[in-house]
Amino acid sequence: MRTVDLSKTSLRELNHDLHRQSSGANEMHWEVINPMGLHAVAVGVDAPIQVDIRGSVGYYCAGMNKHATITVHGSAGPGVAENMMSGKVHITGDASQYAGATGRGGLLVIEGNASSRCGVSMKGIDIVVKGNIGHMSAFMAQSGHLVVLGDAGDALGDSIYEAKLFVRGSVKSLGTDCVEKEMRPEHHKELSELLAHAGVEDVKTTSFKRYGSARKLYTFNVDNADAY
């Protein structure tokens, strides 16, 4: 395992060395210490490596991640795993605004709470939040899954497309064109697999409700003008 101390090594050097792994370097396990809330730690990683960040980070940690497994042993600032492509990002603490925004694939797991706009404009990413999420989460979410074991804030799924939302706790309010939907057997199966992948045990899928698009805003309809 290679250890990088960000109190002694620049962030630019760290990210440059992580990017080199995509071209055949063979350092599979990295440990980053003293992240000191720096922004853009481990962004753009494109290799099947493991990165353990020992401490909290600032904006856009693990953004554009591809293939890597990145664990933040602490909390993360806004935009963690933004535009993630594949792999896994795991936050052991809380996450700030727009976690997993525009994510296209992979799995984001947040052990604590996530702030507003979690999963905004998600495009295929799977997000599992073990705590609560803030307002406007899954706004314009196109595809993928957002699983919340706690509660959801105002305007969940506003202007949602075809993403699937599963919430175990209460929902303060649903956004425009987002409705509660039936939990069919295939949804229980999907949810069970997601929970297992996120390391969630002893939680029954029957305790969740499913939310998704009412499909009234896909094309403009004058009868729905007040909803736009």
CA distance 68 to 40: 15
3-60: pLDDT as tens digits? 999 999 999 999 999 999 988 767 999 999 999 999 999 999 999 999 999 999 999 9
Q: Note the pLDDT of residue 228.
A: 59
Q: Tell me what the mean pLDDT of segment 146-154 comes to.
A: 98
Query: Do residues 127 and 145 lie in contact, with contact meaning Cβ atoms separated by under 8 Å?
Result: yes
Residue 221: band (very low, low, confident or very high) from pLDDT cuts 50, 70, 90: confident
Query: Do residues 62 and 83 lie in contact, with contact meaning Cβ atoms separated by under 8 Å?
Result: no
Query: Do residues 62 and 42 lie in contact, with contact meaning Cβ atoms separated by under 8 Å?
Result: yes
Helix, strand counts (H, E) of the chain: 2, 11
Q: Tell me what the mean pLDDT of segment 210-223 comes to.
A: 83
164-167 and 209-213 beta bridge pairing: antiparallel
Residues near 41 by beta carbon (within 8 Å), at least 6 away in sequence: 6, 11, 14, 15, 32, 35, 53, 57, 58, 61, 62
94-146: pLDDT as tens digits? 999 999 999 999 999 999 999 999 999 999 999 999 999 999 999 999 999 99
Residue 149: band (very low, low, confident or very high) from pLDDT cuts 50, 70, 90: very high
Residue 217: band (very low, low, confident or very high) from pLDDT cuts 50, 70, 90: confident
Q: Note the pLDDT of residue 227.
A: 65
Q: Note the pLDDT of residue 197.
A: 97
Query: Do residues 31 and 49 lie in contact, with contact meaning Cβ atoms separated by under 8 Å?
Result: no
Q: Note the pLDDT of residue 216.
A: 86
Question: Could you give the dihedral angle defined by the CA atoms of residues 33, 34, 39 and 44, in that order, rounded to the nearest 10 degrees?
Answer: -10
